[in-house]
Structure formats: structure tokens, C-alpha cells
Structure 1
Amino acid sequence: MFALLGVPVAFIIILLLVRKKFPYGISIIIGAVIIGIFCRFTVEDFLNSAVETVKDKDTLNLTAIIILIGILGYSFKKTGQINITIDELRRLFGEKTVLAALPAAFGMLPIPGGALMSAPVIEPEANRLGLTPEHKTYLNIWFRHTLLMVFPLSAMIILSASLVHVSVYSVIVRLFPLFLIAVTTGYIVGLKPIKAPPRHEESGSLLKALYGLSPIIVVIILNIVFHIGFAVGLVVGVLLLFIENKVSVKEAAHMVKKGFSWEMAVAIVGIMFFRQIINNSGVVTDIMNLLEGTPTILLMVGLPMVISLFTGLAVLSIGVSFPLLFPLSPLPPPLFAAILYTSAFTGYLASPLHLCLILTKEYFGCSLLNVYKRFLPSVAVLVCYNVLLTMFLL
């Protein structure tokens, strides 16, 4: 029973450290060490767990993928290639649709607080249509994150799939109904009320829009068609981006250096170390005995959502809750991953600590309370779907 106390203590310490702006990778490692101490780990036990973590193929592969996604995202921004897609989307779609398409396009760039990049881009269109600051904020946040439910290069989806040892696409297939519900909700709440004037702009080119996204498309094709891992595919994608933009070796080295994120690398290693400690400690068996009779739905839907809500970090929620709850789940791994991903994602969307939400509402100059009046009912739709799905499956 003493070992079990380490889990809530670790959670509290992790939450406190993250709230104090401590790097969340280090926070998770500290949480893992606390669990190990409560489980009476020796120094040798900790060292063995650390060695197992860094030697694990999943750890190495996942860390490489997350680092390369960061480099690709930064390089997209610096070369300006994403602007090709954005300009064509402006011409291809009407004013209303472009307010959803532009944030979604920027959403493919894995940059913390990246909603601040798309906010100025949609502002002229939104102003022309007479939208309120709260309405602009809703559109920018909602549609920026909707695509992350089915985007194969989303760090959150890759991590979720990796932690339960299934393919990214098996999780995406289970998330697709949620994606459709989110798009429909966003349309009804955000786009339908807008009255747009007739368009007089020249037509855009879908081929040019796809060309702007070619490095990402190549990564996905290499993975689906040729079964080449994301890590290798991302290297090809980055090189293709450099070639398309005639980037010099010096400029490329600078982009790689700037796009490299030690914080994300440590976060992934920390999450995998946490998982290793959980597995080696045997604390999951104690948790199963303690929670016998507790509705599984409460754990699967509630825990990841609460962690995301209090931290504003979906990756942290996924990394902590998956290792704890996966052994307790009677569901197939892809379904388990989809349900917990949705729980973590909805808590992240609604969190007052969500960086994208904070930056966007500050940019458009509106209060969080007024944004929530439109935003929270939309999040509630996704939560209700997840609860009903979990109840049906269990």
C-alpha cells in the first residue's frame, strides 16, 4: 500500500513543477523517481530502468521523430513555403471557409503557441466579415487543433500510438468520427452564423497548394506506400524542403539548429522513463487491486482530461496516463489509445493554461470568459461523444 502513495504524490509534484514553468520532461522524470522511491527502488534499479529506457527502440525512434518534426516545422516557417499553400487556400475557398482552412494549415506546424502565427493571417478576412474578437478567437483555436485529430505527424498521435505499440493510422481511423464531429461542430458554431458577401477573387490552384505541402505529403506517402519509418521519411521531407527552396548548407544548418528542441527530446525520454519505472515497479497490479469496482470509464475519460486541464499540456497527460491505465483496459490497444487521446485532447483544448488559447485571446483583445461561452459547449460535444463511445465499448 505504501508503494501506491507514490502515484498521487508524483502526480502532485509533476503538476506543481509544471505550473512553476519547470520543463515538463524533467518534471516527469522527477515524478518517476518519486514513484520508484515509494516502491523501494535501489540505485541499481533506477540505473537499470534508465539504461532500459535509452536502449529501447521505441524511445530512440520516438525521440528522433519528435526532434525532426520540430526541425521540419521551423524550416517551413523560415523558408516561407507554407505561405504558398496559404495563398492558394485564400483563392480556392470562400471567405468563410478560409477562416477554417488557414488555421488548419498552420496547425500542421508543431510550434508551441503557433496559433499566434495564424491569428494575424485570418484577421483581415475576419474584420471584413465583421466578426467579434471572441468569434475570431474561437475560429483560430478550434480549426487549428481540429486537424490534429487525424494528422499523422501530430506528436500527440505518434506518442499515443507508440505507447500502446500500434500504428499511427490504426489510431487515426478510430479518431476519424471525432474529427468529423469536430468539423461539423466548428461549422455550426463558428462558420454558419457568418454572412459572407459574394467572392470576386481569382480562382486558386489546388496543385500549388499541395506543392506547398509536398515535404509533408512525401513523408506520409513513404510511410503508407513504402513502409518507411517516420524518422527516415522526415529526414527526406526536410531535405526536400531545403532543395525546393534552394537553401544553402549554412542556412540549412542554422534551421536545423534552431528547429532542434532539447525540451521536447527530454520530454519524450522522460515519458518513456516514467513508463519503464511503472512497468518495473509492479505498482500497476496494486492500482488494479485498489481500483477494483471503480468504473473504468471514470478513469479512462477522467484522468487524462484532468491532467491536461490543469497543465495545458496534452503530451504530458498522454505520457503519464497511458502507462498507468493501459494495463487496466479491456479494450483493443487502438481503441484505448483513441479514447485516452480524446480525453487528453479535450482537456487540453479547454485548459486556461493552453498557450494557443492565451496568446490568441490576448492578440484579439477579448476576455477568456467570453471566449469560453462559445468554446466550452463545442468541447462538451466532443466529451459527450467520448463518454458515450466508452460506455458502449465497455
Structure 2
Amino acid sequence: MAVFTWISFIASIAVILVFSKFNIGLALFLGGVVLGLLLLPISTLLEQLLDTILDPSVILLALAVGVIPVIGGLMEETGLVDRLVQNLRVDRRLFLGVSPALIGMLPMPGGALMSAPLVEKAGEDVLGNVKSAINVWFRHIPQLVYPFAASLIVSAKIANIGLYSAIPFMAPPVLVCSALGYWLLLRKVGRGVAYTEKASFRKAVLPLMVILAAPLADFTILKALKPEVREAATLVAALISLSLAWVVGRPGLRRTGMVVLRMRPWSFSAIIFGMFFFIRVFQSSPIPAMITSIEMDASILCLTLGFLLGFATGRIQIPTSIVIPVFLARYGLASMPPLVFSSIYFSSYLGYIISPVHPCVTVSLEYFKSNLSDYIKILILPTALSMLAAAIPMIYWLI
């Protein structure tokens, strides 16, 4: 029976890995179905499906995560992103790092293509493979701490810890990535200024308000109103930011409709339902009890598995949705210590950063006419050093 249970779990992971190339939400749903059909009674599987669909926190989170990419799409469509970046006033090195990072706070498919022209403009004398690495490395750093990064929101919920409790523990990874990125990618770039037009503070502050409105509103609502369902604050905050983007950008109804169709918010919402369905099925199966009965090194579980799944899928949500429940089951915890969460999230993030199936990697390589092997050669040192940094919180927790 034990062998069959492990085979069933591995089969469900294989289904997720295969179908994640086409649709992440569908992949997670099918993984849950396969696991449930093999290990649970049909009645229990259907019960978990209904519980997922009817859970208010899951519904609100799915709606909020669906709104977030539309905000980015409206800012792109109306030129708010260009206004923000073009009115920055920093030297060339910082421009190469800051411009992808700012655009990285706006989750949108193919977003790396938005920052690529800016990196190209500021780095005309920089090798293509280096520009690809700069574009991807710095673009994703905000996902480690930005309160409206969908992967961070969802991962914190899976770990059953407050988002704003987790964020302070993610600050060291941000510092590590920023320092290594500057030292290994930007240090040799000249400091020449990359601007030809006069800056306007007013033009920069309006799009910045749209980006910052959501996390500020979310934090304020949580502290002031203390809603019974935490995700209600997230949805309201996302809608506030969406409204600001619409008012400031003035896209009109027709262009707004086009943005919605292009951003496909329903696919982001589907990821949430698929993810929590898989987790519920996992928790109802015999697997958690089996995991608690075996000896397992936490550092190997968190760092190696998180990194490998991030690399294999080109996603953060998939490794965290698998590794976090396994860790909680192994140690019999209801919620994850923030130190451990930072290790899991950071290691999954690092695998995702250099994954050949990560869309931002592929579009950057194409744009800068570089290749995957050179890209990985450039990032292997900062990634390896970052993995060592990711191990420190885990070692501290184990001690």
C-alpha cells in the first residue's frame, strides 16, 4: 500500500509538470484529480472539489489575482509604465537594474519584453547575453517582497502565515539578489547617463501611485477594519488600484475590453482554484501521514526540491504548492515558520529565474539575440551564491 501511495503521488506530480507547459490551473486541477482517484473515495474527492469552489477565501483570492494582471495591462496600454521609467533620474547602472524591477511589479504575460527595449537603450555597448541576464534577474526581484506579487500572496496563504509577517523575512533575499546582481552584472557597465529628455516629477508620481495604491490599501484595510476573510482586503485593494489605473490612464471602455481579453484574467483565477484543490486532495490523502513517519532532511526538502521544481516548471506557484504542504506534513505544523518560508520561496524563485521554460527567459534571449547556455553561464554564480544564502535561514531554524 505504501509503495502504491508514493507511486500515486509521483504520478500526480508528473501530471502537473507535463500539463503546466500548457495551462498551470488545469495542470494543478488534473494533478489533484489523479491523486484523488488513486487514493481517495470518489465522494471525498467531490467533497474536496466543492469545498474549494465554495470557500470564500479562495473565491476572493481568485478574483483579486485575476484583477492584478489587468492593472498591469492598463498601465501598459495607456503608457503609464513608459511615463514612470522615462522620468527616473539615476545613472546608467542603476537604470539597467531599476527599470526592469519597476516593470516587474506589474504582472503581465511577456512583461520582460516591456523592459527589454529600456535595457537595450541603456546598454547598447553591453553583450546580448549579459543584457538578457540583467533583464530577467532584476525584473523579478520585486516578486520577493512586493505585497501584490501573486506568487507571494498565494504562497503565504498556503503556508498559513500572514503576508506582512512573511515580507520582512524576504528582505534579505532582496538585498542578496540586488548586491549580487550589481556586483556580477552591472559593476563593469559604464556610468553614462541614459536620458535625452527633461524629467517630470508629476509624470512619474501618477503611475507610481497606481502601483503603490494596492499594497497600501491592503495593509490599511487589514489593520483598520480587520475583515473576517483576509482576502476581502486584497480584492478591495486590487480594485482601488485598478480604478486608479483607469482614471489616470483614461483608456475608455473599448480599450479596457481589449486589455481584459489580452490579459486573460480568468486564467490567473483558475490557477488559484486548481492550486487549492490539489492541496486539499493532498491533505486528505494518506501521504501526509506517511511523510511524518520518515526521516527527511528539511534543508534538502526545501532547497533542492523547491529549486528543481522551479527550474522544471518555470513557475514559483507550483513548487511552493507542492513543497510547503509536504513540509507542514513532515513536521506536523499548522503554519510554516517565516524563516523556513523564506528558504522555500527563495529557492523556488531561483530555479524559476534560470528555467529554460520561464517565458521571460525565452523572450529575453530572443530579443537580445543570445542563447540559453551563455545566459545560464552568466547567472550560475549569482544563483549558486543566492542558494547558499537561502540555506542560512533553514540552518538557523534547524539549530
Contact 1:76 1:82 in 2 (8 A): yes
Give the match for residue 50 of structure 1. Answer: 49
Q: 1:38 deviation in Å?
A: 2.5
Tell me if 1:108 matches 2:96: no
Q: Distance in 1 between matches of 2:309 and 2:385?
A: 19
Secondary structure of 2:189's aligned partner = coil
Corresponding residue for residue 380 of structure 1: 384
Contact in 2 for aligned 1:216/1:237 (Cα 8 Å): yes
Residue type of the alignment partner of 1:158: I
Aligned counterparts of 1:249 and 1:138: Cα–Cα separation in 2: 38
- What secondary structure, in the 3-state scheme, does the structure 1 residue paired with 2:327 have? helix
Mapped partners of 2:87, 2:343: distance in 1: 35
Q: Name the SS for the 1:225 alignment partner.
A: helix
CA distance in 2, matches of 1:337, 1:52: 26
CA contact (8 A) 1:4 1:286 kept: no
Q: Deviations over 1:131-180 (max 9, x none)?
A: 11112112111110112111111111001111122222211110101100
Aligned counterpart, 1:140 = 135
Q: Sort the Cα spacing of 1:27 and 1:332 in 2 relative to 1 into closer, same or farther, 3 A.
A: closer
The worse-fitting range, judged by mean Cα deviation, of 326-335 and 339-348 is 326-335
Match in the other structure for 1:119: 116
1:297 maps to what in 2? 299
Aligned residues of 1:157 and 1:171 also touching (Cα < 8 A): no
Give the 3-state SS of the residue equivalent to 1:166 in structure 2. Answer: coil
Which aligned pairs between 1:10-25 and structure 2 lie closer than 5 A? 10-18=12-20, 21-25=21-25
Note if 1:76 corresponds to 2:75: yes
What is the distance in 1 between the residues matched to 2:268 and 2:213? 24
- Counterpart of 1:99 in structure 2 is 96
Pairs within 5 Å for 1:198-217? 204-206=199-201, 208-217=203-212
Write the distance in 2 (CA, Å) between the matches of 1:371 and 1:328. 36
- What pairs up with 1:287-366 in 2 under 5 angstroms? 287-289=291-293, 292-329=294-331, 332-366=336-370
> How many Å apart are 1:207 and its aligned residue?
5.3
Instruction: Quote how far apart the aligned CAs of 1:391 are.
Output: 1.5
> Distance in 2 between the 1:352 and 1:256 partners?
28
Aligned residues: 385
C-alpha distance in 1 between matches for 2:195 and 2:343? 44
Are 2:148 and 1:153 aligned?
A: yes
Say if 1:75 and 1:259, in contact at 8 Å, map to a contact too: no
Q: 2: CA distance between counterparts of 1:112 and 1:249?
A: 22
Please list, as runs of the form range in 1=range in 2, the aligned pairs for 1:110-259 lying within 5 A after superposition. Answer: 110-127=107-124, 130-197=125-192, 204-206=199-201, 208-227=203-222, 229-259=233-263
Mark the CA change 1:219 to 1:198 in structure 2 (over 3 Å): closer, same or farther: closer
Counterpart amino acid of residue 234 in structure 1: A
How many angstroms does 1:324 deviate by?
2.2
Residue deviations 1:209-258, cap 9 Å, x none?
23212122221221223327111111111111111123333433443344
Q: Provide Cα deviations, 1:273-304, integer angstroms capped at 9, x if missing partner.
A: 00110122242011221xx2221111111212
Q: Does the 8 A contact of 1:68 with 1:260 survive in 2?
A: no
| Match of residue 28 from structure 1 | 28
Distance in 1 (CA, whole Å) between partners of 2:193 and 2:105 is 29
* Distance (Å, rounded) in 2 between the aligned partners of 1:270 and 1:355: 21
Using structure 2 for the length normalisation, give the TM-score: 0.91
Q: Residue 266 of structure 1: which of 270, 274, 292 is its match?
A: 270
Q: Secondary structure at the match of 2:62?
A: helix
**Judging changes above 3 Å, is the alpha-carbon distance between structure 1 residues 5 and 82 closer, same or farther for their aligned structure 2 residues?**
same
Within 1, Cα distance between the matches of 2:251 and 2:56? 32
Task: Report % sequence identity.
Answer: 24
Over 3 Å counting, the alpha-carbon distance change for 1:200 and 1:251 in structure 2 is closer
Measured against aligned partners, the alpha-carbon deviations of 1:27-71 in whole angstroms (never above 9, x if no partner) come to 2112112222231x2221111010111122331122112101111
| TM-score using structure 1 length | 0.92
- The aligned residue for residue 230 of structure 2 is none
CA contact (8 A) 1:107 1:145 kept: yes
CA shift for structure 1 position 201: 5.5
Whole-angstrom distance in 2 between the partners of 1:28 and 1:332: 22
Give the conservation status (yes or no) of the 8 Å contact 2:29–2:278. Answer: yes
Per the TM alignment, residue 74 of structure 1 is displaced from its structure 2 partner at its CA by 1.0
Question: In structure 2, do the counterparts of structure 1 residues 93 and 198 end up closer, same or farther at CA, with 3 Å as the change threshold?
Answer: closer
Residues 113 and 356, structure 1, Cα contact 8 Å, conserved in 2:
yes
Q: Deviations over 1:294-334 (max 9, x none)?
A: 21111111212111111112222222222222232468432
- CA shift, 1:199, in A, is 7.5
Contact 2:298 2:327 in 1 (8 A): no
Unaligned runs of 5+ in 2: 226-232
**Structure 1 unmatched ranges of 5 or more:** none
